[in-house]
Copies of this chain bind each other. A is one copy, B any other.
Amino acid sequence: MTIASRLVIDYRNATDVAVGEHGVSAADIDSVKDLVASEHERIVREHAEGIQRWQDLPDNTELADEIAAFAAEARETYTDFILIGIGGSSLGAIATIMALTHPYRNWLPAERRNGPRIFILDNPDPEKVAATLDTVNLETTLVNVISKSRQTAETAANFLGVRDALIKAVGEEQARKQIVATTDPESGLLRQLSNEEGYRTFPVPPGVDGRQTVLSAVGLIPAALAGIDIHQLLAGAAAMRERASSPDVRENPAYLLAALAVLADTKHDKAMLVTMPYADALFGISDWFRQLWAESLGKKLSVDNEVVFAGQTPIKALGAIDQHSQIQLYTEGPNDKLIQLISVASYRDSVSIPTPPASVPELSYFEGGELGQLLDRERLATAWALTKAERPNLTITVPTIDAAIIGEFFYLLQLQTVMAGALYRVNPFGQPGVEAGKNATYALMGRSGYEDLKDELLSTPDNADAYLNRP
């Protein structure tokens, strides 16, 4: 199924024409034109060499067929679905489900839900995990554990707990049937356990970072369980891939957005990139992108091994709510942000604003109004007010919210991030900076091989105190 891209980008308010010295100039964009073109060639070459394999995910319609068939049956069988995964293993699913299902889906009657209730166990928060185990009916719960290796401590701990509860509720043999693992096809702890216990498995694609897996089985299984048309998700991503194939920074929407953001940071001191959709349903996209942008670009070393401490801080916001929270700061505080608004041309519901009582003529301007119209005009008014205060901003408009549009966003923002890495001269893959903290957790949990680190950690009296005085 081939469809066309429908996203529209308006970046006028991010330029010097609209906001003076705080905006990106045509000369700025020209200054990276050649670099963008040559980095495009590198990305194409790397893709041909088997790197950048995330770009192939939209083509995997066979996998989507398999997942859709699996999910169709599971939607009939199970009342509850628990996803166990964190970071790249959960944020894509949350974004997709938030965008494309009823906002109160979990408490709709079963016949209106089109599938089981969905619970995300990302954090190893005992209060949330206990509440989840207390709420689901384990006899009819499908568990999807997602981990490339299952080294991730949070996912491993949550999975051990849920697996144990499941075994207690339905017995060991049945429990194995209610667990599906999304993991590396060949190696890793979860692969090993899946083989031993006979879980059904789906692959985490090799050569793809965790934060790029939303269009793989990692993101597609929970989406399909929620009744989402995953083929449309992939088709939308493919449409954006087609559209974003030019090496020209002005023609390629992903490269244009990358250039605007990086130039805003490096030439105009916009250390933060705010993503602010005007739709509750799109807030998850903003949160998913927040991980992608931060973890890909926040790097100490450049590709040439120079110390650069690169990266722009992504901020998730929501219009119009944050007009009553952050816009005061965005308008009058330090001019240190580029703000990307997301606009919805046509919401999926229409709610008219009734005629106000005659006694409050101050509200008569609502006469004949509609909520989506109000929300959209708030967006336009905010863009105008930001621009008037010389705060650079741009607007991405979607015709409406559907699976294909969400697929477009996923592809667009991933390619934007890869090109932004190139412009910062950092490697957008990997997350070397989190190793220290991970190792420290292992050390504090008493994992063997980490004894020296534990000693180092507890050599500070206050750390030792905090460690010893906790349960």
Q: Do A389 and B129 form a contact, CB below 8 Å, given A311-B334, A365-B448?
A: no
Task: Judge whether B332 and A298 touch: CB under 8 Å.
Answer: yes
Residues of B within 8 A of A91 (CB): 325
Q: Which residue of B is nearest A106, CB measured?
A: B107
Q: Do A380 and B463 form a contact, CB below 8 Å, given A124-B371, A192-B360?
A: yes
Which listed residue, B128, B133, B349, B382, touches A127 by the CB 8 Å rule?
B349
Task: Judge whether A467 and B380 touch: CB under 8 Å.
Answer: yes
**What 0/1 readout, one digit per residue, does chain A (295-312) give for beta carbons within 8 Å of chain B?**
101111000000001110
Q: Which residue of B is nearest A124, CB measured?
A: B371
**What 0/1 readout, one digit per residue, does chain A (250-269) give for beta carbons within 8 Å of chain B?**
00000000000000000000
Task: Judge whether B130 and A351 touch: CB under 8 Å.
Answer: yes
**In the complex, how many angstroms separate the beta carbon of A416 from the nearest chain B beta carbon?**
16
Residues of B within 8 A of A130 (CB): 349-351
Q: Do A382 and B437 form a contact, CB below 8 Å, given A320-B124, A329-B298?
A: yes
Residues of B within 8 A of A330 (CB): 298
Q: How far is the CA of A457 from the CA of B271 in the complex (A)?
A: 29
Q: How far is the CA of A300 from the CA of B327 in the complex (A)?
A: 12
Q: Which residue of B is nearest A291, CB measured?
A: B325
Which listed residue, B102, B103, B271, B372, touches A471 by the CB 8 Å rule?
B372
Q: How far is the CA of A433 from the CA of B272 in the complex (A)?
A: 19
Q: Which residue of B is nearest A86, CB measured?
A: B324
Q: Which residue of B is nearest A359, CB measured?
A: B196
Q: How far is the CA of A157 from the CA of B308 in the complex (A)?
A: 49
Interface positions, chain A 318-345, Cβ under 8 Å from B, are: 318-321, 323-337, 343, 345
Looking at the complex, which of A158-166, A178-186, A219-227 is the stretch in contact with chain B? A158-166
Task: Judge whether A354 and B87 touch: CB under 8 Å.
Answer: no
Task: Judge whether A126 and B370 touch: CB under 8 Å.
Answer: yes
Task: Judge whether A328 and B294 touch: CB under 8 Å.
Answer: yes
In the complex, whether A445 has a CB less than 8 A from a CB of chain B is yes
Q: Which residue of B is nearest A368, CB measured?
A: B446
Task: Judge whether A437 and B125 touch: CB under 8 Å.
Answer: no
**In the complex, how many angstroms separate the beta carbon of A228 from the nearest chain B beta carbon?**
16
**What 0/1 readout, one digit per residue, does chain A (119-160) give for beta carbons within 8 Å of chain B?**
000111111111111010000000000000011111011101
Task: Judge whether A434 and B331 touch: CB under 8 Å.
Answer: yes
Q: Which residue of B is nearest A167, CB measured?
A: B354
Interface positions, chain A 360-380, Cβ under 8 Å from B, are: 360, 362-366, 369-378, 380
**In the complex, how many angstroms separate the beta carbon of A400 from the nearest chain B beta carbon?**
10
**What 0/1 readout, one digit per residue, does chain A (204-222) give for beta carbons within 8 Å of chain B?**
0000001000000000000
Q: How far is the CA of A331 from the CA of B295 in the complex (A)?
A: 10
Interface centre among A158, A189, A297 (most CB of B within 10 A): A189
Task: Judge whether A126 and B294 touch: CB under 8 Å.
Answer: no
Which listed residue, B158, B196, B374, touches A154 by the CB 8 Å rule?
B374
Q: Which residue of B is nearest A298, CB measured?
A: B329
**In the complex, how many angstroms separate the beta carbon of A312 from the nearest chain B beta carbon?**
8
Task: Judge whether B122 and A321 touch: CB under 8 Å.
Answer: yes
Task: Judge whether A362 and B129 touch: CB under 8 Å.
Answer: no
Excluding A86-B324, A378-B441, 15 further A-B contacts by CB distance (< 8 Å) are: A103-B132, A126-B371, A127-B279, A154-B320, A154-B374, A157-B353, A157-B371, A161-B352, A189-B363, A192-B359, A315-B315, A345-B469, A377-B445, A381-B440, A381-B444
Q: Which residues of A contact B (CB under 8 A)?
A: 10, 12, 86-88, 91, 102-104, 106-108, 117, 122-133, 135, 150-154, 156-158, 160-161, 163-164, 189, 192-193, 196, 210, 271-272, 279-281, 290-291, 294-295, 297-300, 309-311, 313, 315, 318-321, 323-337, 343, 345-354, 356-357, 359-360, 362-366, 369-378, 380-382, 384-386, 388-389, 401, 431-434, 436-448, 457, 462-463, 466-467, 469-471
